Structure 1
């Protein structure tokens, strides 16, 4: 295999995206090894330099796909199962599709987010993604965790249905995978928006996910809920589509002057 070949066939990554990334080798400002070293030693400079390139999003796709070969070696060194590797890096294809939908060109716009995967700071374990972090906020005393203590930050990628059984399996897998961490999970997401209880049936997957958490606060500045529900952001709620039950109920809620803030939540996994 040549160093510029795409090393892995990741789920979600289209043949067209793979071909575009391979062709970007001719545009690359560094060799792959030089780029990998810079990525690890001076990430801000790596970002600044690529962002100044006219084809920056395509170059991010090229380099990140190449970097997976080095990440794979680290997975092997740590004896992390291969299915976790493929599942984690399927995010590249997922975000490449988003880039193509937004711009009409192949590439990656979420390069900062995907750098976590390559630096082995985030892992996909079943339906959910987990990121070991120091707790960024104060939690209720019952959780036995103070600000700065290790916790697992939960992220919810797009994809299959967010069923309670799939989520519970992910939490259990994460508790085993991060066995040195307390099984305390924090989450900042539109799925934890308290207003969703007024917009969805009680048995919906979203509310069942939310009910597993203690909501500790809201992010009043976040419009993530609108973006995820409607697929875009509009200055006037009347412009939003009504193609689903949630879109209709959320639009009515917003037109009535009510907010849809993201929520902060915490849950502990008890054995």
Structure 2
């Protein structure tokens, strides 16, 4: 029993002041945040229950023999299991500081993985800059340091990398569509997967909490040796009720559920300069070929409020948001549309008259909402061959 206790104490190295200060050599957290983390680490060290929970978090995320995928660590495996959220909830008051401490416990391992792949340390530092960004965001919202989401699990799990303006997650496609390409003309067609319930307007039933009791329909996707039959998603991201057939000798499948992709995320620390975004994707193609040559990724994928085609009407063709989204082929994903409102305004503002109108984006969205509209999330992809 004593041996197990000594082993656990040895594994709690990441709670020591020198370990946190060493981690901050790369994380570059502001002085106030580091002071708060050092005090929180001392609290954990002095409490056996908190120490045990912190160790469970470290083992869940970063010990090779027990660590799962970031998705499993965040949401549990299909058969259940422990999650980081569950551990933080059990830790109770102060969890907003315990979380970054547990995340930083993986930095020693992460630095080694970067070195094994010969990835420059500047990429690691740039990727980790998200922690300082979201801790600043937490401070602005609550008046104290902390971290309010588990987004950084992906950064610390050697899955997500910041390359220029954008972030790229080594992921699997789950867009609910199958992508075909004509063998000669290279025309691309997008078909809905089977079993998705759509409204009569071509969006997923329940989008923006609106349901189509009378006109909803369910998609079917059928394939055999001769043809693929399904419901086309048009370039605006709307599904057609009318099913069409595509001959296999003329059309090939180039992207489907489970295929390796790079999920694209827009870091929240600057403008969406269109040229920078394009350069970032070009650099990402070269980066992953150089450092992960054994992985063959078929497309960039993105699910975001930024892909809402309604911005074309609200902001015009010159908008960076509109120019970015038009690089992608769109498809519907559902959702309540609130994430976009949170990102634009910082809050949902039940009383819309209290929402700020200090930018052209905010004014355009508020006018859109006042006219009875709503924002929606959309999915999109760019076939990787288009970037080579």
TM-score normalised by the chain length of structure 2: 0.65
**1:262 partnered with 2:377:** yes
Q: Does 1:14 align with 2:30?
A: yes
Kindly indicate which of the two structures has a greater share of residues assigned to strand: 2
Give, in angstroms, the shift of residue 153 of structure 1: 0.8
Query: 1:37 aligns to what?
Result: 59
Of the candidates 39, 47, 52, which is equivalent to residue 85 of structure 2? 47
Q: Which moved more, 1:230-239 or 1:147-156?
A: 230-239
For 1:101 and 1:60, the matched residues in 2 are separated by 18
Separation (CA, whole Å) in 2 of partners of 1:77 and 1:33:
26
Change (3 A) 1:140 1:118: same
| RMSD after superposition | 2.2
Q: Superposition pairs for residues 182-197 of structure 1, below 5 Å?
A: 182-197=297-312
User: Following the alignment from structure 1 to structure 2, what is the Cα–Cα distance between the partners of residues 228 and 175?
Assistant: 28
- 1:229-268 paired onto structure 2 within 5 Å: 229-268=344-383
Tell me if the contact between 2:255 and 2:298 (Cα under 8 Å) persists in the aligned partners: no
Residue ranges of structure 2 left out of the alignment (5+ in a row): 1-16, 45-49, 68-72, 74-81, 182-187, 189-253, 290-294
Q: Which structure shows the higher helix fraction? A: 1
Any residues of structure 2 matched to 1:11-160 within 5 Å, and which? Answer: 13-28=29-44, 29-30=50-51, 35-40=57-62, 41=66, 43=73, 44-53=82-91, 54-111=93-150, 113-136=151-174, 137-142=176-181, 144-160=254-270
User: Please, which runs of 5 or more residues in structure 1 have no aligned partner?
Assistant: none
Q: Matched residues in 1 for 2:275 and 2:348: separation?
A: 32
Asked which structure has the greater CA Rg, the reply is 2
CA contact (8 A) 1:191 1:206 kept: yes
User: Shift of residue 189 of structure 1?
Assistant: 0.8
TM-score normalised by length of structure 1: 0.91
Instruction: Please say which of residues 193-202 and 175-184 is displaced more in the overlay.
Output: 175-184
> Structure 1: how far apart are the matches of 2:29 and 2:332?
36
Q: Is the 8 A contact 2:57 2:87 kept in 1?
A: no
Which aligned segments of 4 or more residues in structure 1 are displaced greater than 4 angstroms? 31-35
Residue by residue over 1:78-133, the C-alpha shift from the partner in whole angstroms, topping out at 9 and shown as x without a partner, is: 2211111001111110111111122222111112x111111111111111111122
